[in-house]
Amino acid sequence: MPIIHHPDDATLMSFAAGSLGEALSAVIASHIDLCPRCAAEVRQMEHVGAALFDGLKPTGMSSLTVASLLRHDVSVKAERTETEVAGGIVPGPLTRFVGADLDQIPWKRLGIGVWHYPLPLSPGVKGDLRLLKVAPGQAMPEHGHGGAELTLLLRGSYRDEVGTFRRGDVADLDEDVEHRPVASLDEGCICLIASEEKARFRGLMARLVQPLTGF
């Protein structure tokens, strides 16, 4: 299934320029690992703005945080075999956190039919990054966003007011969007979600438990 939903050009440009937040950058780096089209766009943006990065030095690998895995010069193969994009394969930028198999992640129960796995950010960095697993047919509470939110589908699919999202698709949302994602009936979904601010839930129960969930 081809990737239909891509990040906004402005988001890709911010990533190429190194100005996108750490959590959001992790989602873009993972999407680029699956999407030759966006990988090519980022490379082109980097070439155009190469002068801006003359003094940029690579990040060290001493700390296992998202920042240690991101690179401004993203190298991605334009051609991939069917096995490389199979449902169990984790995008390259995430493999040091969770390995190469989504089924081996030590999921933590978040609610009925929902599990999550928080991912570490650098100390003092703003935002939230986590993997989310939703059971087949399960709906997430209706909510808006306090800032930018990026969601990358890794397995399965979900639908909401914006459309239907499948593996490799990215939902690039802002504070103007409210939605209620519903996981597919056949296999549910697994997503990588990054957000700048807490979600704004409409329901009372979701708001009451929000301090416990971290969303």
In tens, the pLDDT along 92-105 reads 888 888 888 898 89
- Summarised one tens digit per residue, pLDDT across range 4-23 is 999 999 999 999 988 999 99
Domain membership of residue 108 (yes or no) is yes
206, pLDDT greater than 80: no
Domain membership of residue 69 (yes or no) is yes
Domain membership of residue 4 (yes or no) is no
Domain membership of residue 2 (yes or no) is no
Using alpha carbons, list the distances in angstroms from residue 152 to 12, 24, 124.
14, 10, 24
144, pLDDT greater than 60: yes
Class of residue 111 by CB neighbours under 10 A (exposed 0-12, middle 13-18, buried 19+) = middle
Q: How far apart are CA 190 and CA 199, in angstroms?
A: 18
**Residues 21 and 125: beta-carbon distance below 8 Å:** yes
- State percent of the chain over pLDDT 70: 72
Domain membership of residue 1 (yes or no) is no
Average pLDDT, the chain: 79
Domain membership of residue 3 (yes or no) is no
Task: Give the CATH number for residue 136.
Answer: 2.60.120.10
Whole domain around residue 112: which residue ranges? 9-213
Least confident of 30-34, 93-97, 113-117, 152-156: 93-97
Domain membership of residue 135 (yes or no) is yes
User: Which residues on adjacent β-strands are paired with residue 118?
Assistant: 130
